[in-house]
Structure 1
Amino acid sequence: MAVAHVNMSPTAAFAVATSSFSCSSCYVCRNWKGDLRRGEGQRHSVVLGLGEGSGIGISICAGVSRVFGKRSCFNVRRWVLNATDTRRLLDNAPPRTTTASTTVNIPLTCYQLLGVHDRAEKDEIVKSVMHWKSAELEEGYTMDAVVSRQELLMDVRDKLLFEPEYAGNVREKIPPKSSLQIPWAWLPGALCLLQEVGEEKLVLNIGQAALQNPDAKPYIHDLLLCMALAECAIAKSSFEKNKVSIGFEALARAQCLLRSKTSLGKLALLSQIEESLEELAPACTMELLGMPHSPENAERRLGAIAALHELLRQGLDVESSCRVQDWPCFLSQALNRLMAKEMVDLLPWDDLALARKNKKSLESQNQRIVIDFNCFFVALMAHVALGFSSKQTELIKKAKIICECLMASENADLKFEEAFCLFLLGQVYFPFLSFFSIYNVF
């Protein structure tokens, strides 16, 4: 099975998370570096290098609890019995072996795998190993990953207790060995441990580099699950810091990871992530639209506008449902954060205004719930402003249509706005507006 690698930008993350949650690409870690080296003879190892870290801001409670809630109560033995059998999931996968003929070098210390300080005493190391051996695992790992995790724990314990090269020496200022050479079959167990001890960036960087290597093919299920859980942990940390957009993007990447492998698509975690994304989309959209207008925020802003458009499409669709609770408040705040051109391009305002005139239609009634008079008036002014500044008579004509429809459907007094549109179109003359003629607007 080949895993696609496409750069997942913030705009793509929004497109994935808001367009009925469909995804055709999987995660790609930004700025990763992979270094493949072959030794002499039949033995060879792969060195997985780490890329430079990249920065991956409303309080959020709804939805997040589904993904980060309390783990279900079960013991490890019962869980192991229900673990997924990889041999039934991978198509044409080569037989797994744990021999040292093919190994992988991972750039970390044994201490990092256990989540302890490099000055930890031997009794602390033993306690840590026993703790992780009996720890509950997340749902979805294969039996092979469970076994490799246990074997790796024993190997790390022995290295720290009996091999000074890996333990280092604080008194003599000898640092512990900063790389581990393990069989490929142990890599899922290593990433599982790293995710458990909170080394999310290491999980993502090592996992991404490993996926580039053909030797990782039999372990893709577990590698992708480790990376998805790491993204969920990043999302949880971001939500706790009220950084909604960053957490949203991390959840969207986790969604793509899980969807890139058929066997992972059956996990309850995926449906929980999708429901959380749906609930968080309005808050994330609002946060991104409020960011300063700068080149570094341009791509995220495009994603937020696309998300806003999708939310509006769902809200205006009679047969769809949307998680926005207070549409007039939400849309009013969103429009206040848009430029005139962004507002004009957001919706076919003139068509919506024409449909609004038929007060008895279901479409018109549903539209009034989503778009109130004030939002339509703001859109009307945006058409006038952009049409005047860019000398586009078509926009002024649309503004006139919106104005006429609002007067008919809302009984609003918009005679001045209508007259102004007529003047700009040259259909009426007002002496007190004659100063506009010096610009030769149209």
Structure 2
Amino acid sequence: MELLKHLIGLGNDWFACSAQVLGAEPHFLSDGVRRAFEARAAKPPQYGYTTDTLVGRRQILQIAHDTLTNQSSRTEYDRALSEDRDAALTLDVAWDKVPGVLCALQEAGEAQAVLAIGGHLLEDRPPKRFKQDVVLAMALAYVDLSRDAMAASPPDVIRCCEVLERALKLLQEDGAINLAPGLLSQIDETLEDITPRCVLELLALPLDEKHQNEHQEGLRGVRNILWSVGRGGIGTVGGGFSREAYMNEAFLQMTSAEQMDFFSKTPNSIPPEWFEIYSVALANVAQAIVSKRPELIMVADDLFEQLQKFNIGSQYAYDNEMDLALERALCSLLVGDISNCRIWLAIDNESSPHRDPKIVEFIVNNSSIDHQENDLLPGLCKLLETWLVSEVFPRSRDTRGMQFTLGDYYDDPKVLSYLEMMEGGGASHLATAAAIAKLGAQATAALGTVKSSAIQAFNKIFPLIEQLDRSAMENPNVGLEESVNKFDQKTIMGFDIRDSKNAALKIVAASALFALMTVIGLKYLPRNKVLPAIGSEHESMTVANVVDSVDDDAPDEPIQIPRMDANLAEGIVRKWQSIKSKAFGSDHSVESLQAVLDGNMLKVWRDRAAEIERKGWFWDYTLSDVAIDSITVSLDGRRATVEATIEEAGQLTDATDPRNNDLYDTKYTTRYEMTFTGPGGWKITEGAVLKSS
């Protein structure tokens, strides 16, 4: 292609290009060419080119028609090819006709030519209207390339996203948005739908230097997606993923260290759900084995302990007190605490709720009983290595399929040093490690040699993980009923289990009713009418800000904090509704607000109540029902986020001007931020209406 002042040469076979521009074939007879021309001319472009460009397009179609229907021009073309091929393959186009040419070329499928020519033109900073048409043609060319990418086998999703993002950027930055708002919307919707899959493919690229940038882009993409769809898997990710399903897919393409890093950096406004905590606990186990860092086993055990306190639902086969006992037992074994391991598995206590006869049978079948203290150690080791190979290592990219022996882990100097520090209280961690290492090949087979029969037996005795993986399909929004008890937060070799900004590990607690309502797809519906002053809580509430850290100094004397649960939360909400009736009623008891409100919530509602009193208005509220949907509690137990559904009616009365009188009867879901204020008890500090009907 040549670009000379106001002439542009199209480096293409113009004779063949003429046929392509018309949607015809070079061998078509005149009637066929004419029909192709009329069909193309009668169907203008879908998007908003300027009139000048549409005229130019029509002219280029006419030139193509004339070229193909004129026999003498065909003869002349063949002669020119033999004499001066370069000149014959070039058509000079006047500068002001170039956008029309680009439009026609784009319709003809010459996307690369459009992008090459358009790119050169934009470098010269052409006039605005000219530029907009060029940009539009280029954007459509990128869309064509995206279709080609998706039509490939297999579909090239990364390439599709790449060219669509270029098209979007071109339209947004170069002023063609108003010409094609529909195109912009379609690109946006397509990107929203395919970006999650694109991110997964970026993550799946090889972990080598060549693909390092793409892999990092994938990690950023996962954060952008999962940190924007909302908590608890309630929101859906583009492409039809639930939040849980997408996180599981992404984690499979991430290393154990990357999973831990993702968890530690998740904003505190997105409390982790049980499936995320469980996955990260396994990632800590995997990383502990890979890096010979048994301190990470303790982190994993802490996380399992938190999950063990939750009532994760009756759809699981095990009772809640039995759940995760196996994980905790094997974590104990990984730090050489065989006594605690036996306690969790209830090997010596047939009446314990933790005892599973199938697990005990598995251990016995893989041990040689000689009536010694550690006669079950080979079976415990087989249980541990089978758990690692079938459940832990496959979940992280860096450990999937790796070769490993328990002896390598227990005989490592770093591991032995850590176990030595743990000695005491009757637990002989080093002795256990030495015994396991001594078992050698009998108890520490390489991962690749673990027999399928052992794994099958393991799956029969431990179906919980499989059930957890199915939960996204069966009941994706079942929450956790109890809050998280505080555990020792520590930074270990660069991995924060919630850094100082995220000190409060929060777990969403959703009632079964709320989960069901979410599953069937309730939408957030706005009010149709805004009532004067404060119809209900819709106008006055501000969006809640989740507390990022817990830095308050510890009190001199311990204070017994009432545990936040559904009953306490409902009592506070009802108290607030009652006091609201007094503050905005005919008595205007504004000062009563401080009995249940604090912080910004108190300021906002005190100002509103004063305004109502000044205007001579008053509200009469009737509370029909309060249902607590979810509770999130901070680690220190001093802060909570409560979501509740409220049915309420209200009647506004203006004694001086009845025209201001109004009433409503509504049901709405609201979020309250509550804080324990010491002697004042629990108070509401922030609030926001989430949806109403």
Are residues 211 and 404 of structure 1, via their aligned partners in 2, closer, same or farther at CA, if it must alter by over 3 Å? same
Are residues 338 and 321 of structure 1, via their aligned partners in 2, closer, same or farther at CA, if it must alter by over 3 Å? closer
Q: Equivalent residues in 2 for 1:183-222 (5 A)?
A: 183-215=94-126, 218-222=129-133
Alignment partner of 1:240 is 2:145? no
**Which consecutive residues of structure 1, in runs of 5 or more, have no partner in the other structure?**
1-33, 37-44, 47-101, 356-361
- Match of 1:139, SS state, is coil
Stretch deviating more after TM superposition (396-405 or 128-137)? 396-405
Are residues 389 and 145 of structure 1, via their aligned partners in 2, closer, same or farther at CA, if it must alter by over 3 Å? same
Alignment partner of 1:306 is 2:220? yes
The separation in 2 between residues aligned to 1:322 and 1:227, in whole angstroms, is 30
Contact 1:104 1:181 in 2 (8 A): yes
Larger Rg: 2
Alignment partner of 1:107 is 2:11? yes
Q: Equivalent residues in 2 for 1:19-418 (5 A)?
A: 45-46=4-5, 102-110=6-14, 111-115=16-20, 116-118=24-26, 121-159=29-67, 161=70, 163=73, 167-168=77-78, 177-215=88-126, 218-241=129-152, 242-265=155-178, 267-317=181-231, 322-323=237-238, 324-348=240-264, 367-368=272-273, 372=275, 375-387=276-288, 389-390=290-291, 398-409=299-310, 412-413=324-325, 414-418=327-331
The separation in 1 between residues aligned to 2:59 and 2:81, in whole angstroms, is 30
User: How big is the shift at 1:193?
Assistant: 0.8
User: How big is the shift at 1:263?
Assistant: 4.0
Instruction: Write out per-residue CA displacement over residues 293-336 of structure 1, whole angstroms, 9 at most, x where no aligned residue.
Output: 45544333322222222121023358976435333333223212
Instruction: Write out per-residue CA displacement over residues 197-240 of structure 1, whole angstroms, 9 at most, x where no aligned residue.
Output: 11112111221122112346541111111111111122223223
Contact 2:135 2:170 in 1 (8 A): yes
Q: RMSD in angstroms over aligned alpha carbons? A: 3.8
- Match of 2:284, SS state, is helix
Contact 2:237 2:243 in 1 (8 A): no
Q: Under a length normalisation based on structure 1, what TM-score does the superposition of the two structures give?
A: 0.62
**Which consecutive residues of structure 2, in runs of 5 or more, have no partner in the other structure?**
313-319, 337-414, 438-492, 494-693
- Match of 1:262, SS state, is coil
Q: Under a length normalisation based on structure 2, what TM-score does the superposition of the two structures give?
A: 0.42
Instruction: Write out per-residue CA displacement over residues 358-379 of structure 1, whole angstroms, 9 at most, x where no aligned residue.
Output: xxxx965xx43xx62xx53332
The separation in 1 between residues aligned to 2:42 and 2:302, in whole angstroms, is 69
- Match of 1:135, SS state, is coil
Give the aligned residue type for 1:334.
A
Q: Which has the higher contact order (CA 8 A, sep 6+)?
A: 1
Contact 1:114 1:128 in 2 (8 A): no
Higher strand proportion: 2
Contact 2:102 2:134 in 1 (8 A): yes
Contact 1:404 1:418 in 2 (8 A): no
Higher helix proportion: 1
Identity of aligned residues (%): 22
- Match of 1:152, SS state, is helix
Are residues 262 and 210 of structure 1, via their aligned partners in 2, closer, same or farther at CA, if it must alter by over 3 Å? closer
Give the aligned residue type for 1:153.
L
Out of 406, 427, 436, the residue aligned to residue 422 of structure 2 is 427
User: How big is the shift at 1:418?
Assistant: 4.5
The separation in 2 between residues aligned to 1:207 and 1:258, in whole angstroms, is 13
Aligned residues: 328
Instruction: Write out per-residue CA displacement over residues 255-278 of structure 1, whole angstroms, 9 at most, x where no aligned residue.
Output: 112111334256121112112211
Contact 1:113 1:194 in 2 (8 A): no
- Match of 1:168, SS state, is helix
The separation in 2 between residues aligned to 1:171 and 1:230, in whole angstroms, is 29
The separation in 2 between residues aligned to 1:177 and 1:122, in whole angstroms, is 22
The separation in 2 between residues aligned to 1:166 and 1:316, in whole angstroms, is 67
- Match of 1:180, SS state, is strand
Contact 1:195 1:203 in 2 (8 A): yes
